[in-house]
Amino acid sequence: MNLFDRFILTIYSLALIVISIAALGILLNYIPLAVVQDTVADIYGSTAVHIPYVIVVVIFFLISLRFFFGSFIPQKSRQEKAIRQRGEYGEVHITLNTIQSIAERVARKVKGVRELRTTVKALESGNIISLRVTVDGETSIPEMTQALQYEVKTNVETIAGVDITEVKVIVAEVVTQDTPPVRTRRVE
């Protein structure tokens, strides 16, 4: 249910609460019969069209139709994105968050990695892990990135049983012992 439907349902529910309270008041004689009769007589007795009443009734009718027919439309399930594998005993779903966690844990153990951010994409062509790293500046970047790609690929494939077609490494920053890393927030 989206935000608009929730808002409409809230308004609809509040209106039904007011109508229910009025009905209880009438049934329990808290609202005098004369007030009810005068209101009904005012609506029926007048030759003029009561525009506000008509508008409220039409809105309630349309909202009721929306909720009625909306209940027959199947909703998309909000499943986490996952890689599905068919095994000997059934189906296994491994979420992309799980693969991301494994990749981050392995990448943090590689010498020279100071900070990292990981994304995982499951595409038709294969599964891709992207690592955006900050390195220490003391370790050879080509050796460190090659070790990072190898370790992440082999460990994720071993632990999760998922084939990784590519491990992309982006060296975002080199940090020395003297200068602390500069953290910038980026919206992706």
Q: What digits encode the pLDDT tens for the residues 118-132?
A: 999 988 888 999 999
* Mean pLDDT calculated for residue range 104-108: 94
Same domain, 94 and 170: yes
Same domain, 59 and 94: no
* Mean pLDDT calculated for residue range 156-174: 92
- Show the domain range for 142: 82-174
Q: Could you tell me if 135 and 114 are in contact, meaning their C-beta atoms sit under 8 angstroms apart?
A: yes
Q: What is the pLDDT of residue 167?
A: 95
pLDDT over threshold 60, residue 78:
no
CATH number for the domain including 122? 3.30.70.1350
Examine residue 186 and state whether it is found in any structural domain, yes or no: no
Examine residue 187 and state whether it is found in any structural domain, yes or no: no
Q: What is the pLDDT of residues 12-47, one digit of tens each?
A: 889 889 999 999 998 898 989 888 888 888 778 776
Q: Could you tell me if 66 and 8 are in contact, meaning their C-beta atoms sit under 8 angstroms apart?
A: yes
* Mean pLDDT calculated for residue range 95-109: 93
Q: What is the pLDDT of residue 102?
A: 94
| Whole-number Å distance between alpha carbons of 75 and 173 | 44
Q: Phi/psi class of residue 103: alpha, beta or left (left: φ > 0; alpha: ψ in -120 to 50)?
A: alpha
- What is the pLDDT confidence band of residue 177, given thresholds at 50, 70 and 90? low
Q: How many domains does the chain have?
A: 2
